[in-house]
């Protein structure tokens, strides 16, 4: 699993307006069942309480760990090999946060000709462009292609070693 | 300064959800069809501009839609339900209190900033929801819920408002109230609307200014509150926790008329299975079950029947409810009738916890617990691997009467196998 660097989310303007009351971040339910993995699972001999009992945690939930903004985070399936240089393979699961502002250096999902396209946003000679991470694919100059929308910022890619692992 | 009441809703919610998860639909006309691909229930703004009307039966306009290159979708409730949850939890940090009013609208309360201008807040919220979820929203701001709903309608009606309208900031609200027909007001039903028209009360301003006594005599305290709200006095509170449901109904139209008793049994059985799932999700049990079926009201010899039964012990056990429902089905059925719709209604709903031990309980407690565990297991499997993973034999296998959803998009946000593709090429 390769983590792609992610930037801090810009502060919602409501935080900056002192006259408004803020009630804590949204913790919406996640769209799939949660599967906590037990962190410590020692079998315990009967009779003596295990000294480790006090340290057993509830488990690791990858949703909690990987996703900071559940309501604006979407999963996409990668098709193609233009991003292999960034560790993203054909068939990988891409985790995309739409609430992050795209910055140069980040891997982004762009809408191009009615399809989701995966590229790295790069600052090149004073202009922004979208680059593949595979020399077989030429870069796209943003000022030359008419209508490109940055849909979201890739925050993780999940690569399974077996298709149904 | 008094708090502002706000109505936030998503424009063309179903069509917007389809566009949000499928980039090929951005900027293109999209319509979403009702259950069974019956008629148009949602239009993207592009489809609206083509003059496609709401509520038109699909078969009547299929050609027109194809001619204009309109994308047609069946209702995808998995997608809309998930996007609705995302929308509502995104709104929460932006307001002081939120009442989720329907799948695509919410009332909210928040204090006004110094100076009273909420438009920077509203503009920022709109652009955030647009970017984070891909959904366009409209925001109506006013001193009361009824007026917030009215303001929201104005925000949407005229593109010059850019999806946002604050009634309290208008020098004179009267022209806006006069532009709102009385029937369009939240809380004015068909009967009250007709009554108003008979008294030459045609718009919101006239209803606000009519004699209170007369309105009270007609509509009681509901009418008084409505009038107060129109005068800018907030008297309908936000309901943050929705009231527990009193009944649950599952009904569907068939893709083709059915006449055989066995087909009707299977249809009713599959609705009972859905209704029982809903009940367990709501943590409730039903004390009464009603099944109903009808033929087409547009065909000659219209026939409609309902049959109900009290359960000896309130239950949310699919097997118990199935047994009760299937005993009733022969009472609905008539040979040679062409049934087009059937359903099941669960009533007298009680919270799960209230169940009393009953002398006549059909099962001893330990067996009862095993049944509950079985239901939880089935629900878990169906949630995880998709509806219908574990089925009840009474529902039949691959029924050919099942709802028609020929243009269904994928469950792009809730099923791993249905995720949208991002191209690396």
pLDDT digits (tens, 9 = 90+) for A126-144: 889 999 999 999 998 887 7
Q: Do A12 and B23 touch (CB under 8 A)?
A: no
Candidate from A17, A71, A78 with C-beta closest to B90: A71
- What's the whole-number mean pLDDT along residues B320-349? 89
Q: Is the pLDDT of residue B210 over 60?
A: yes
- Predicted pLDDT at B375: 85
Query: Quick one: B128 and B83 in the same domain?
Result: yes
Candidate from B132, B419, B422 with C-beta closest to A98: B132
- Nearest 5°: the CA angle B51, B160, B227 is 90
- Predicted pLDDT at A24: 41
Give the helix/strand (H/E) hosting B376.
Answer: helix B365-385
- Predicted pLDDT at A22: 39
Q: Is the pLDDT of residue B67 over 50?
A: yes
Q: Is residue B223 part of a domain?
A: yes
Closest CA to B270 of B388, B376, B389: B388
Q: Do A98 and B133 touch (CB under 8 A)?
A: yes
- Predicted pLDDT at B257: 87
Give the helix/strand (H/E) hosting B250.
Answer: strand B248-258
Candidate from A21, A28, A83 with C-beta closest to B85: A28
Which segment of B94-108, B246-260, B400-414 scores lowest on mean pLDDT?
B400-414
Nearest CA to CA, how far is B350 from chain A (Å)?
A: 25
More confident residue, B58 or B391: B58
Instruction: Tell me the two tokens of residue B337.
Output: 């009738």
- Predicted pLDDT at B124: 96
In tens, the pLDDT along B79-92 reads: 998 999 899 999 99
Write the DSSP string, A107-138. Answer: EEEEEETTEEEEEEEEEETTEEEEE-SSTTS-
Contact between B10 and B103 under an 8 Å Cβ cutoff? The reply is no
Query: Quick one: B62 and B161 in the same domain?
Result: yes
- Predicted pLDDT at B1: 64
Candidate from B124, B132, B421 with C-beta closest to A77: B421
The mean predicted confidence, pLDDT, of chain B is: 88
How many CB contacts within 8 angstroms connect chain A with chain B? 139
From chain A, the residues in CB contact with B425 under 8 A are 79-82, 117, 137
Instruction: Give the predicted TM-score (pTM) of the model.
Output: 0.71
Query: Judging by beta carbons within 10 Å of its beta carbon (0-12, 13-18, 19+), is residue A17 exposed, middle or buried?
Result: middle
Q: Is the pLDDT of residue B5 over 90?
A: yes
- Look at residue B224 and give its three-state secondary structure: helix
Query: Quick one: B48 and B142 in the same domain?
Result: yes
By C-alpha distance, the chain A residue nearest B4 is A20
Query: Quick one: B211 and B316 in the same domain?
Result: no
- What's the whole-number mean pLDDT along residues B159-183? 94
From chain A, the residues in CB contact with B420 under 8 A are 74, 76-77, 116
Identify the domain containing residue B365 by its residue range.
248-352+359-395
Count the helices and strands in chain B (H runs, E runs).
13, 13
- Predicted pLDDT at A52: 62
Q: Do A79 and B425 touch (CB under 8 A)?
A: yes
Closest CA to B344 of B372, B320, B319, B322: B322
Query: Quick one: B187 and B276 in the same domain?
Result: no
Query: Quick one: B27 and B158 in the same domain?
Result: yes
Q: Do B425 and A82 touch (CB under 8 A)?
A: yes
Domain count, chain B: 3
- Name residue, tokens 């006095």: B233
Query: Quick one: B309 and B387 in the same domain?
Result: yes
Which pLDDT tens digits describe chain A residue by residue (165 residues)? 444 444 444 444 443 333 433 344 444 444 444 545 544 444 545 555 566 656 656 677 888 889 999 999 999 999 999 999 999 999 999 999 999 999 999 999 999 989 999 999 999 998 899 999 999 999 988 877 777 899 999 999 999 987 644
Query: Quick one: B99 and B153 in the same domain?
Result: yes
Query: Quick one: B50 and B161 in the same domain?
Result: yes
By C-alpha distance, the chain B residue nearest A101 is B131
Say whether domain A69-158 belongs to CATH 2.40.30.10. Answer: no
Q: Is residue B421 part of a domain?
A: no
Q: Is residue B13 part of a domain?
A: yes
- What's the whole-number mean pLDDT along residues B58-87? 92
* CA B297 to chain CA centroid, nearest Å: 24
From chain B, the residues in CB contact with A99 under 8 A are 128, 131-132
Q: Which residues of B touch A (CB under 8 A)?
A: 21, 23-26, 82, 85-94, 96, 110-114, 120-121, 124, 128, 131-134, 380, 383-384, 413-414, 416, 419-425
Q: Is residue B319 part of a domain?
A: yes
Checking ipTM against 0.85, whether it exceeds it is no
Query: Quick one: B34 and B59 in the same domain?
Result: yes
Q: What is the strand order of the sheet B30-33 is part of?
A: B40-43, B30-33, B71-74
By C-alpha distance, the chain B residue nearest A85 is B424
Q: Is residue B407 part of a domain?
A: no
From chain A, the residues in CB contact with B421 under 8 A are 76-79, 115-116
- Predicted pLDDT at B250: 84
Q: Is residue B416 part of a domain?
A: no
Q: Is the pLDDT of residue B50 over 60?
A: yes
* SS3 track for B133-181: HCCCEEEEEECCHHHHHHHHHHHHHCHHHCCEEEHHHCCCCHHHHHCCE
Give the helix/strand (H/E) hosting B192.
Answer: helix B190-198
How far is the C-alpha of B215 from the C-alpha of B226, rounded, in Å?
A: 10
Number of alpha carbons in the 13 Å side-chain half-sphere of residue B142 = 29
φ/ψ (deg, to 5) at B186: -65, 125
User: Which residue of B422, B423, B425 to mutate against A (max A Cβ within 10 Å)?
Assistant: B422
Q: Looking at the DSSP assignment, which residues form a beta bridge with residue A149?
A: A111
Q: Is the pLDDT of residue B187 over 90?
A: no
- Predicted pLDDT at A165: 41
Residues of A acting as catalytic residues: 82, 119
Nearest CA to CA, how far is B296 from chain A (Å)?
A: 38
Q: Is the pLDDT of residue B152 over 90?
A: yes
Contact between A79 and A103 under an 8 Å Cβ cutoff? The reply is no
Q: Is residue B48 part of a domain?
A: yes
- Predicted pLDDT at B145: 95
Q: Do B93 and A25 touch (CB under 8 A)?
A: yes
- What's the whole-number mean pLDDT along residues B133-156? 96
Contact between A95 and A154 under an 8 Å Cβ cutoff? The reply is yes
In tens, the pLDDT along B371-391 reads: 888 888 888 888 777 677 777
* CA B381 to chain CA centroid, nearest Å: 25
Query: Quick one: B306 and B264 in the same domain?
Result: yes
Q: Do A72 and B90 touch (CB under 8 A)?
A: yes
Query: Quick one: B60 and B139 in the same domain?
Result: yes
């Amino acid at each position: 699993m390769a983590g792609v660097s992610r930037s801090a989310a810009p502060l919602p303007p409501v935080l900056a307006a002192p006259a408004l009351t803020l009630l804590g971040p949204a913790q919406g339910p996640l769209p799939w069942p949660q599967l906590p993995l037990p962190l410590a699972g020692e079998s315990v001999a009967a009779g003596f309480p295990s000294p480790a009992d006090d340290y057993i945690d509830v488990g690791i939930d990858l949703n909690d760990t990987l996703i900071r903004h559940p309501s604006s985070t979407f999963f996409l399936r990668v098709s193609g090999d233009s991003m292999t240089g960034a560790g993203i393979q054909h068939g990988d699961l891409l985790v995309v946060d739409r609430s992050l502002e795209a910055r140069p250096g980040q891997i982004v999902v762009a809408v191009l000709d009615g399809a989701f396209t995966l590229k790295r946003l790069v600052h090149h000679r004073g202009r922004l462009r979208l680059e593949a991470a595979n020399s077989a694919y030429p870069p796209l100059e943003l000022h030359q292609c008419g209508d490109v929308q940055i849909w979201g910022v890739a925050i993780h890619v999940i690569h399974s070693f077996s298709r149904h692992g | 300064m008094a708090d502002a009441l706000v109505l936030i809703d998503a424009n063309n919610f179903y069509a917007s959800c389809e566009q949000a998860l499928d980039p090929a639909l951005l900027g293109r006309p999209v319509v979403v069809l009702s259950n069974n691909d019956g008629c148009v229930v949602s239009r993207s703004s592009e489809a609206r501009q083509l003059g496609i009307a709401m509520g038109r039966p699909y078969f009547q306009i299929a050609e027109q839609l194809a001619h204009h290159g309109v994308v047609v979708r069946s209702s995808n409730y998995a997608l809309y339900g998930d996007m609705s949850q995302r929308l509502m939890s995104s709104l929460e940090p932006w307001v002081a209190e939120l009442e989720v009013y329907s799948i695509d609208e919410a009332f909210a309360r928040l204090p006004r900033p110094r100076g009273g201008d909420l438009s920077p807040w509203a503009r920022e919220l709109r652009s955030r929801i647009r970017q984070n979820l891909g959904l366009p929203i409209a925001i109506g701001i006013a001193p009361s819920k009824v007026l917030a709903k009215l303001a929201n309608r104005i925000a949407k009606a005229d593109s010059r408002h850019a999806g946002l309208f604050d009634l309290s900031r208008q020098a004179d609200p009267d022209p806006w109230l006069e532009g709102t027909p009385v029937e369009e007001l939240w809380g004015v039903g068909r009967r009250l609307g007709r009554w108003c028209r008979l008294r030459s009360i045609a718009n919101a301003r006239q209803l606000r200014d009519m004699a209170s006594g007369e309105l009270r005599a007609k509509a009681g305290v509901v009418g008084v509150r409505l009038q107060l709200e129109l005068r800018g006095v907030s008297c309908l509170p936000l309901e943050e926790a929705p009231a527990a449901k009193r009944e649950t109904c599952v009904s569907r139209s068939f893709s083709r008329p059915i006449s055989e008793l066995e087909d009707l049994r299977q249809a009713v059985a599959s609705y009972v299975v859905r209704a029982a799932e809903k009940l367990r999700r709501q943590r409730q049990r039903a004390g009464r079950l009603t099944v109903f079926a009808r033929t087409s009201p547009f065909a000659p010899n219209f026939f409609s029947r309902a049959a109900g039964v009290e359960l000896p012990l309130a239950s949310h056990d699919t097997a118990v409810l199935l047994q009760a429902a299937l005993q009733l089905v022969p009472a609905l059925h008539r040979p040679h009738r062409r049934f087009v719709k059937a359903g099941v209604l669960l009533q007298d709903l009680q919270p799960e916890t209230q169940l009393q031990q009953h002398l006549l309980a059909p099962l001893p407690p330990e067996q009862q617990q095993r049944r509950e565990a079985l239901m939880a297991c089935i629900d878990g499997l169906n949630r995880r691997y998709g509806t219908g993973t574990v089925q009840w034999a009474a529902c039949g296998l691959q029924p050919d009467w099942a709802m028609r959803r020929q243009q269904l998009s994928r469950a792009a946000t809730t099923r791993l196998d249905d995720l949208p593709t991002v191209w690396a090429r």
